[in-house]
Amino acid sequence: MIKNITINGDFLCRNLTGIERFAYETTIRLDKIIEKDSLSILVPKNAKFIPDFENIKVVRSNKSCKIFPLWEHIFFSLYLFKTKSIPLDFANVTPLFKPGIVFIHDIYAKLYPKDFTSKKEKLIRLYMCMMYKHCAKHAKKLLTVSNFSKKQISSTYHVKEDDISVIYNGWEHIKNIEADNSIFDEHPELTEKNYFFTLGSLQKRKNLKWICNYASKNHDERFAISGKAISGMVSNELKELQTLKNVVLLGYVSDAQVKALMQKCKAFVFPSYYEGFGIPPLEALACGAPIIIGNAASLPELYGNTAHYIDCNNTDVKLSELLKNQTEAPERLFKEYSYRQTAEKLKETLSEFTQMKIAIDCRMIGSGGIGSYISALLPHFLRDNKCLLIGSSEQLKKFSAEKNAEIVICNTKPFSLKEIFNFPKAILKKINRCDLYYSPYCNVPGGIKIPLYTTIHDVVFLDVPGLASKAGTFIRKCFYKRACFYSKEIFTVSNFSAQRIKHHLHCKKNIVCTYNALPDWFFENKKPDSSLAKEDKILFVGNIKKHKGLSTLLDAFIKAKEKGLSSSLVIVGNKDNFRTADEQIFNKINSAPQNSVTFTGKITDEDLKNLYKQSKVLVQPSLYEGFGMPPLEALNLGTHVILTDIPVFKEIYEDFPVTFYKAEDSEELYQKLLDIENIIKEPLNIPDKYSFEKTYSIIMNSLETK
């Protein structure tokens, strides 16, 4: 089912010409092919008529559409905010505060400023140019009616052509109209095949001036010009047309009379010099009339060899002679340009909105636990949603082939001034077209206008003194607070972390606990491998930051070795990192018995998994954690865990077969190491709440209810 989309029904307040005809015909056919109530239409109080829709839900507004900017940007927008729906506009505009899906048929007002001369016309042009730019910059989806318009929108407003979809116009409405030949009783001078027919319009691009100039030089050829708008023409042109005996000014005529005029004319003449599509020539072809059209804008693209062409600026041509040239039969056009296909293509476009589109910051991939967290979550997001993934090519190459992934390369570093004050505009534009933005950490780029969510894993730098300088701690606190300020909701990985966030940041936003979890690949092949028998190894997985407690482990291990402990200590990581980062810890490592402490160097996920399986016990001597993943990984692979009794470990591992000891108590840990054989317990299955499927479902539940 299509996501909550509301059609702007303002076209029902106006006569069915041009864009209004396109909107009406497309909507009534769309109604036939969608599920019931999957779309709604907001109809102004002063609508001239309301179609009898079967599946589109009609919502009647108590507000009128008399000043259409007021309707579009106030009344229609208020309804959109109230219903949390996405607007679908057919007429070159989209709400300023709630942009959505919009057709830009052409950008005439932008490209032909000299055609707008009066004060009213200039105001209209100013408004339309503002709307073109707003639509191009902020619309969730841009649609247009020809490749010509697509290229012009792209080049003028710097929108990628791939981001603009072309949905052609149709013609079928004309065949359902019964021709009204009474027009010939009113104008007996018009007989079958003795006149050229054209439509008059206020818009200068329709180029009625060409008809005027041509008719004044060719008195043997008669012209019938329809259109109430003729009364608004430039007075000199109107006066000249009124003096020409070979021109019949019909004034307003009905659709049925237009059909009759098209059926019996010598040819339909359409000298327009700018069109996004141009429906009248297609209507004329459907009525059996030859067409003579301007060799300009979209017209050659659309009509090809089915038309006779004229130079829009040159009347030195003889239309009767031009008609002697052969043209292609129009049946191909009738198949290619039909409202049935228009509706089907529009439905296909709207179906893109069945899935939420989430912009996800992936720039922390490869950065320790945070990177692993988002890497493990992404497959779940991509399974159910369209995702805009922001990161480097290296970080995102694993996900580039995913059908729901749109990759945006971004080399702006997290936690940088550029991220806050000068984040790339092209990337922001893509982000702000999504439904929401999710950051797996507390870094938030400036310029994001859509709902924003973050995960703050911990506030270790605020809880543990000495991890950073005073300036560094202050800067980190600013980033934490900034994330709290801009986020609609905060996610974190334990109830302990939620309490610490509230304590330090005075965060009033809702904080949701989404426990950390094991990546899906960790559950694969977790049974003991006969080639990977348990070895006499004690394993440490972590870094050498003070709060990881490695110093305590080394003290206990060295003392236990002196008392005959046979086990070796395996530290996951590079020895050089320890040498340069903490001289005290490095000295303790060197004081251990020879070959009793080994380093793995950089290892793959699969190697780490095998190391867990081989080790007798994992020791997690942390003084502080937001969650602490290694114990969960070890337990899942059948390895016993000794860990500190810090609050978060008690919260998460209290019901697991683990051994606790008092944090920073090297003496107690020493005793545990000596008694390893007696404290090892049988492993158990990891509860579902520690799976990324569960983590993802909690996050999505929050996102979908906002």
160-196 confidence digits (pLDDT tens)? 999 999 999 999 999 999 999 999 999 999 999 999 9
409 and 481: one domain? yes
260 and 361: one domain? no
The residue segments making up the domain with residue 189 are: 173-335
pLDDT tens profile 89-112:
999 999 999 999 999 999 999 999
423 and 544: one domain? no
355 confidence band (pLDDT: 50, 70, 90): confident
The yes-or-no verdict on residue 699 having pLDDT over 50 is yes
- 589 close to 550: Cβ distance less than 8 angstroms: no
529 and 669: one domain? yes
d(CA 568, CA 576): 19
681 and 537: one domain? yes
Q: Is residue 518 part of a domain?
A: no
The yes-or-no verdict on residue 515 having pLDDT over 60 is yes
Q: Is residue 579 part of a domain?
A: yes
User: How many domains are contained in the chain?
Assistant: 4
Q: pLDDT > 70: what percent of the chain?
A: 93
**Token pair belonging to 39:** 């779309």
Q: Is residue 477 part of a domain?
A: yes
143 and 201: one domain? no
pLDDT at 660: 96
Segment 296-309 shows an average pLDDT of: 96
The sheet carrying 537-541 orders its strands as 597-599, 568-572, 537-541, 617-620, 640-644, 659-661
Segment 613-619 shows an average pLDDT of: 93
Q: Is residue 699 part of a domain?
A: no
424 and 284: one domain? no
pLDDT tens profile 213-260:
999 999 999 999 987 644 444 446 667 788 899 999 998 899 999 999
pLDDT at 242: 82
Alpha helix locations (H) across 625-691? Answer: 630-636, 647-653, 666-674, 676-679
Q: Which of 139, 169, 199 is the last residue of a domain?
A: 169
Helix (H, G, I), strand (E, B) or coil at 239: helix
Task: Specify the CATH number for the domain of residue 456.
Answer: 3.40.50.2000
Q: Is residue 696 part of a domain?
A: no
395 and 473: one domain? yes
pTM (2 decimals)? 0.66
pLDDT tens profile 579-606:
445 677 778 888 888 889 988 888 888 8
Residue written as token pair 């030089």: 217
Q: Which of 152, 169, 186 is the last residue of a domain?
A: 169
Q: Is residue 349 part of a domain?
A: no
158 and 189: one domain? no
pLDDT at 2: 52
53 and 104: one domain? yes
372 confidence band (pLDDT: 50, 70, 90): confident
Q: Is residue 41 part of a domain?
A: yes
617 and 575: one domain? yes
Q: Is residue 520 part of a domain?
A: no
704 confidence band (pLDDT: 50, 70, 90): confident
529 and 491: one domain? no
3 confidence band (pLDDT: 50, 70, 90): low
Dihedral, 443, 449, 453, 456 alpha carbons, nearest 10 = 20
Q: Which of 335, 370, 405 is the last residue of a domain?
A: 335
